[in-house]
Amino acid sequence: MNVMNRFQKRMSIEQEKVTDQMREKEKCTGCMLANKQRPVHVVYEDQLVCGILDHDPFHEGHTLLIPKAHVLEIEDVNQKTANAIMKGVTIVVKAIKALYTPAGITICQNGGEFNDLDHYHIHVIPREREPSFADFYSEALLNNEALKKKLPETRVALAAKIERLKGTV
């Protein structure tokens, strides 16, 4: 096989990989959310990560940070994206503490069969003593209709606070 044929074959393989990644991204809920292809309440964004309010919030300000590139599990996240996620988490935590003065904050991610987006994401969840955090993992519906109705208002306040804090991290 001559050099040109090897090059063409290698290019063909690379194109197939890119096409497969694009197909995966088109059907991935996490990709669609992070790239704003579905209605979302964006509170934080940079080139690699999008921070959105959870559509089913545990407490006001409950935020998901989602890589824009398709990544299934934590071990698939490259270092640059991991750093961007943690920078976003830090800014979101500061903003949540300033706005809502929660009793605490839980930062978590669910992998494997518990990854409900089939895309790596991390939760930043303001906490109070009640309800019990066990309710977060319960199959029972949360009593959060008032929080859901307030999502647009929460987005405006949290996004504004985050914008002011961006230069501090």
Picking from 97, 101, 92, the residue whose alpha carbon sits closest to that of residue 159 is 92
Residues 78/144, Cβ–Cβ less than 8 Å: no
Give the pLDDT of residue 18. 46
Confidence (pTM): 0.81
Per DSSP, helices labelled H in 28-104 are 29-34, 79-100
Q: What is the mean pLDDT of the segment spanning 46-52?
A: 98
Average pLDDT, the chain: 87
The pLDDT of residue 38 is above 70: yes
Give yes or no for a contact between 57 and 145, defined as CB atoms under 8 angstroms apart.
no
Reply yes or no on whether the pLDDT at 105 is more than 90: yes
Are residues 32 and 117 in contact, defined by beta-carbon separation less than 8 angstroms?
no
N- to C-terminal Cα separation, the chain:
53
Cross-strand partners of 108: 123
Rounded distance, CA 161 to CA 156, Å?
9
Measured CA distances, 51 to 87, 111, 115, 131 (Å): 11, 18, 17, 24
